[in-house]
Structure 1
């Protein structure tokens, strides 16, 4: 091999080494930059609203008992009529009131029972249900339910039944504003974190909207609902 060839080979080798070194430095620098870009903080933002219920679905359950089946059915009709009159008195209309067929039970049908201890052979149970947007009218009717008892209507209403009467159906009206509020709250938390860690808050890397929940505000006021949503937002951080 001539001295010229050896010199060329040596120069080529040096260039390759220098090139690889430069490439390695660039790659290392790029890796540092990428790593810096991957510094993130994940925060949650909350938005809550207390709203009035928009609809009421109220089943009024009545009970009757008789030894004569024909008389029992007459009592069922009487109860349905009295409950309907009671509801109309409080501003509800026929379109908002529905009558469900009663469930009739014959105590003698149980062959293992002691028939001598049975006071009433037949029992009946049925519902008169109100479905309306007149929430205030339903609340007033509920407060006057004793009127039916004084008229001889045996009404079965539990606390759990009342808790399920009212609902909120206008979520679409408040949903955009609540999402905006939750996102702003999340950003405020992220900015505080960045400030405390001597960093700067960057752009959003990812965002996730939680599901909206609608629950009773408390046990005493089921017509008041609390709407809640939590958003999760991940931000980039930089020095």
Structure 2
């Protein structure tokens, strides 16, 4: 049958879920409504899909430990290359954590980064 009229409706749906795979599968199923004449658009900035990372406190200790370990490895290499001996920590500071999308096509996968600054004493 021929469509006589076209209507536009606007609806915003907010879903908070820890089941990312299920939510993404449901979003993909919405495309099947296009076969029934119901079209969805998702280009609106204010209504875009957003994925939040809520477990930063769970990963912080491990990330800081890893950053500190890597800082020491780099400092040891620097000391060796300069014929020096690595001493104790002189000063250390934990940088700010950053949480970003892995890339624009996978906003549900996050990249978490921390930069720690560690200064060591060197001796000859």
Same fold, TM exceeding 0.5?
yes
What TM-score does the superposition give when structure 2 sets the normalisation length?
A: 0.82
State the distance in 1 between where 2:44 and 2:114 align. Answer: 27
Stretches of structure 1 lacking an aligned partner (at least 5 in a row): 1-63, 66-122
Stretches of structure 2 lacking an aligned partner (at least 5 in a row): 1-5
Aligned-residue offset at 1:220: 2.1
Structure whose CA Rg is larger: 1
- 1:177 lines up with 2:62 in the alignment: yes
> Which residue in 2 is equivalent to 1:149?
34
Q: Aligned to 1:144, what secondary structure does the other structure show?
A: helix
The match for 1:188 among 62, 70, 73 is: 73
Name the structure, 1 or 2, with higher relative contact order (CA <8 Å, separation 6+).
Answer: 1
State the distance in 1 between where 2:75 and 2:95 align. Answer: 18
Number of residues of Structure 1 aligned to a counterpart in Structure 2: 117
State the distance in 1 between where 2:37 and 2:66 align. Answer: 52
Maintained 8 Å contact 2:94/2:115:
yes
Q: What value does the CA root-mean-square deviation take over the aligned residues?
A: 2.0
1:86-130 deviation per Cα after TM superposition (whole angstroms, max 9, x unaligned): xxxxxxxxxxxxxxxxxxxxxxxxxxxxxxxxxxxxx65331221
What TM-score does the superposition give when structure 1 sets the normalisation length?
A: 0.45
> Which residue in 2 is equivalent to 1:137?
22
Please give the residue correspondences for 1:49-198 in structure 2 after superposition, counting only pairs within 5 Å: 65=7, 124-158=9-43, 161-162=48-49, 165-198=50-83
Q: Quick check: which one's strand share is greater?
A: 1
State the distance in 2 between where 1:174 and 1:214 align. Answer: 12
State the distance in 2 between where 1:141 and 1:147 align. Answer: 10
State the distance in 1 between where 2:62 and 2:54 align. Answer: 16
